[in-house]
Amino acid sequence: MGTPMADYGDGTRCVHGGQAAPEPGAPLSHGPVFAAPYHLGGGDFYGRAGNPGWRGLEEAIGELDGGRCVLLPSGMAAISTLLRSVLRAGDALILPSDGYYATRELVRDEFAELSLDVREIPTAGPWEDGVFDGVRLVLLETPSNPGLDVCDIAALAERAHAAGALVAVDNTTATPIGQRPLELGADIVVASDTKALAGHSDLLMGHVSVRDEELAERLVRARTLSGSIPGPFETWLVHRSMATLDLRLARQAENAAALAEVLREHPAVSGLRWPGMAADPAHELAGRQMRRWGGVLRFELADAGAVEEFVRRSRLVVAATSFGGLHTTADRRAQWGDPVPEGFVRLSAGCEDTADLVADVVQALG
């Protein structure tokens, strides 16, 4: 190929990452390969152990993350496979108290028999002296979902490493082109690619990226033996969708910036957070460690009824959980048990025209 992929910009890397070399007469994009067994004698032999679709997408994502990527069928599959591969009975684990709720539930319910010493800490801290002592794994989530708080990956990784802990970052909200935790010193990236990376609200996917080859092999083995594997069609769709990640994120961030402007001034809105906004408490730190802004904001309306009314009056904002898709969505997080006020909204700016979206949101707020 001549130029190494890493020397190209985000758009080029998203379009070309992990794609087969050009071949006269062959399609530009190869379709999914549907196979359980393969004819023996070549490289692949059984779809659960490995296949060309995974390899292409893993190369594309791993190249952006700066590590070896192991694809898993959802974000939770990525998180649970990682935790199972790294943790032993009685280990101490740090989780974000304000991060993705299912991760806390997984550890509390499914991993109960491991008797883990689980320490929950808010993303924004305080990260007190000695906090990492005796800890096996620190899971950070920045920007956190749904609060959009930010923590200093490089500084915390340095302290955690000094105490002998491994550091994983849930990079779902940022995506691999928005933030590179491995470059900032983390050992592991986990993400739900269901969100902005795939970005069309039509499938689930996840991945873990690591620098350590031995850990990568352990994850691959866990995937092969547990049978928790992505299907070929979803894998192909993610790879196809990822080609437009740079474009989609750019529009989503532009829309989020425009919405932040009007939401900030609006009398019905309080508690607005968007790391890209100069007035956001996390703006300066996020600007240092993130490569670009995302499309997710959060704010509060008076109560649950006010959120329902907002969505009912809007023509473009749809009520849906998840985020990062083409459509602008609003999710009232208290309905899922997140520890937030009843009127707390996570709003994911989609790819609609900015003027249309701003006008719609303003009229829907009344």
Ligand X SMILES: *Cc1c(COP(=O)(O)O)cnc(C)c1O
State the Cα–Cα distance between residues 291 and 298, nearest whole angstrom: 20
Of the candidate spans 41-49, 73-81, 154-162, 273-281, the one that interacts with ligand X by CB under 6 A turns out to be: 73-81
Kindly state the number of chain residues that form the binding site for ligand X, as judged by CB under 6 A.
13
Cβ-proximal residue to ligand X, closest one: 75
Give me 180's structure tokens.
Answer: 């590179």
Site for ligand X in 132-191 (CB under 6 A): 141, 145, 170, 172
- Tell whether residue 81 is a contact of ligand X (CB under 6 A): no
Closest to 235 in 3D by CA, of 92, 61, 116: 61
Measured from the CB atom, the residue of 85 and 192 that comes closer to ligand X is 192
Q: Tell me how crowded residue 60 is: count the other CB atoms within 10 A of its CB.
A: 25
- Figure out which of the listed residues 57, 60, 64, 76 binds ligand X, where binding follows CB under 6 A: 76
* Site for ligand X, residues 94 to 113, rule: CB under 6 A: 100
**57 close to 193: Cβ distance less than 8 angstroms:** no
Q: Which residue has the tokens 């955690």?
A: 160
Identify the helix (H) or strand (E) that includes residue 298: strand 296-300
Q: Which residues contact 218 (CB under 8 A, 6 or more apart)?
A: 85
Q: Which lies closer to ligand X via its Cβ, residue 194 or residue 235?
A: 194
Q: Rounded to an integer, what distance in angstroms lies between the CA atom of residue 238 and that of residue 340?
A: 32
Contacting range for ligand X; rule: CB under 6 A; set: 3-11, 30-38, 69-77, 308-316: 69-77
142 vs 255, which CB is nearer to ligand X? Answer: 142
x/- letters, 184..213, toward ligand X (CB under 6 A): --------x-xx--------x-x-------
230 Cβ partners below 8 Å, 6+ apart?
54, 71, 72, 73, 205
Of 143 and 306, which has the nearer Cβ to ligand X?
143
Binding site for ligand X (CB under 6 A): 74-76, 100, 141, 145, 170, 172, 192, 194-195, 204, 206
